[in-house]
Structure 1
Amino acid sequence: MRKASRLFEIIQILKLSRRAVTAAEIAARLEVTVRSIYRDIAALQAMRVPIEGERGLGYILRPGFDLPPLMFDHAEADAILLGLRLLERTGDMALKDAAGRVGDKIAAAVPEPLRKSLMSAPLYAWGGVATAPPGVDMGLIRQAIRDETVLSLRYGDEQGRVSARDIRPIALIYYSDWMTLVAWCDLRQAIRNFRTDRILAVMPSGQRFQGDGERLRQLWVAGWTNQPTSPLGIVKA
């Protein structure tokens, strides 16, 4: 985590806490050393952020300090809250954790009346929770899509046949019970879809397809109209 992001996170933690928070607690949440937190607290105090406390006892943020507020109307706040709660039901554990952090950041940044409305809104995402695929790091896949990195995977089809593939990942589809990875498959020389619960292993190949991801996504979208029974262009791997 970059220092600027870490400083922002520390302010959010202190702003949302109703008691003094120790450097050790902050360090555990941000996955850094306690010494780094001590340096960050000193840096924030030097920037006149009103943090009070001392080592071993904990720190508090004096009332009255506010970052520039985010402004949403009530419908927008409801949309954000429901979207975050829907994310919590996916099998992508990294996104589930991120949804919690996003909620905390928004709660810390909006004005108090909207914060109360946001945190108490009676909106719930019900139904089953997707199971996290055992052999897949979803964060790795999302990063590969962003960075346009080729992935090597072992995949088992619905008949249990296992194949090795090099793929160029371009999109993820989140269903209520599973996730599907859309990718250009070098083996089939076509766009294919891989259920993440059937991926046995995945790792970066060391190759990239930089600049080609958007073209492949457009090719994928164009193929939807050729498959009227499958609006997302689902083709078996």
Structure 2
Amino acid sequence: MRKASRLFEIIQILRLSRKPMTAQAMADQLEVTVRSIYRDIAALQAMRVPIEGGRGIGYIMRPGFDLPPLMFSIEEMEAIVLSLALLDRTGDSELKQAARRVNQKISGAVPGPLRQAMENKALYAWGSVAQPPAGFDLGMVRRAIRDEEKLSLDYRDELGRATERIIRPIALIYYSQYANIVGWCELRQAIRNFRSDRVEHCESAAAFFRGDGDRLREEWMRGWANPPA
């Protein structure tokens, strides 16, 4: 077990224990040496984690201490790093900027060993990078989904035919080349998929479908075979 993971697990063990835990008991549980536990306890105390006790009597966590909200295990941190890297490959400019801010915030808040795991640049997301759609911002679609606000689209289908659509957007699917907007189309009176690279213009339709988003998503999930618009 790597050091960052051990530090996290030791804190968890002491927080949940109702009596002092000896270094030997923790070493047995984590399958490491007692000497490693002593070094880890000293490292945690240096980071101002309120662990009290000593050799031969065991260790306890001072009452009232809780984990900071950004205390992750090493595997959880690696999952975050890779997820943020994958987000950076979407064509959603707002999400890409948000992913970079999240990276900076987490890096500044987590303890040193976890920060090293986040900044060692050992995990990468590879492949093509989706280009932002030319006619609109995907952030507008995400906000419309959250607010249950209708959107007006100028759309061109796979045969090049232009139509104007009013849709009730309910989901976004991110592919490596483009995003799919899923919504109830008032023209077709059915749920349809709209490729972002075929949307020539998108704006608010100044109308809402509040309270109906969950129902439409359930209907969509019951009919995955619906063809794109």
Do Structure 1 and Structure 2 share a fold, with TM-score over 0.5?
yes
Counterpart code for 2:228:
K
Tell me the equivalent position of 1:216. Answer: 216
Cα deviations across residues 99-153 of structure 1 (Å, max 9, x unaligned)? 0000011111111111111111400011111111100211111000000000011
Distance 1:202 1:125 in 2: 30
Task: Give ranges in structure 1 of 5+ residues lacking alignment.
Answer: 1-66, 228-232
Tell me the equivalent position of 1:55. Answer: none
Q: Mapping of 1:159-178 within 5 angstroms?
A: 159-178=159-178
Cα deviations across residues 194-232 of structure 1 (Å, max 9, x unaligned)? 0000000010011000010000000000112xx3xxxxx
Does the residue aligned with 1:188 lie in a helix, a strand or coil?
coil
Tell me the equivalent position of 2:203. Answer: 203
Q: CA RMSD in A?
A: 1.3
CA positional deviation for 1:158: 1.0
Does the residue aligned with 1:128 lie in a helix, a strand or coil?
coil
Residues 78 and 121 of structure 1 are in contact (CA less than 8 Å); yes or no, is this contact kept in structure 2? no
Task: Give ranges in structure 2 of 5+ residues lacking alignment.
Answer: 1-66
Residues 69 and 110 of structure 1 are in contact (CA less than 8 Å); yes or no, is this contact kept in structure 2? no
The answer on 1:236 being equivalent to 2:221 is no
Residues 169 and 183 of structure 1 are in contact (CA less than 8 Å); yes or no, is this contact kept in structure 2? yes
Q: Mapping of 1:14-163 within 5 angstroms?
A: 68=68, 70-163=70-163
CA positional deviation for 1:69: 5.6
Residues 93 and 137 of structure 2 are in contact (CA less than 8 Å); yes or no, is this contact kept in structure 1? no
Cα deviations across residues 27-73 of structure 1 (Å, max 9, x unaligned)? xxxxxxxxxxxxxxxxxxxxxxxxxxxxxxxxxxxxxxxx9461111
Identity percentage over the alignment?
Answer: 56
Counterpart code for 1:195:
R
Tell me the equivalent position of 2:28. Answer: none
TM, length-normalised to structure 1: 0.67
Does the residue aligned with 1:182 lie in a helix, a strand or coil?
strand
Residues 173 and 180 of structure 1 are in contact (CA less than 8 Å); yes or no, is this contact kept in structure 2? yes
Residues 167 and 183 of structure 2 are in contact (CA less than 8 Å); yes or no, is this contact kept in structure 1? yes
Stretches of 4+ aligned residues off by more than 4 angstroms: none
Distance 1:102 1:184 in 2: 32
Counterpart code for 1:111:
P
Does the residue aligned with 1:191 lie in a helix, a strand or coil?
strand
Residues 69 and 109 of structure 1 are in contact (CA less than 8 Å); yes or no, is this contact kept in structure 2? no
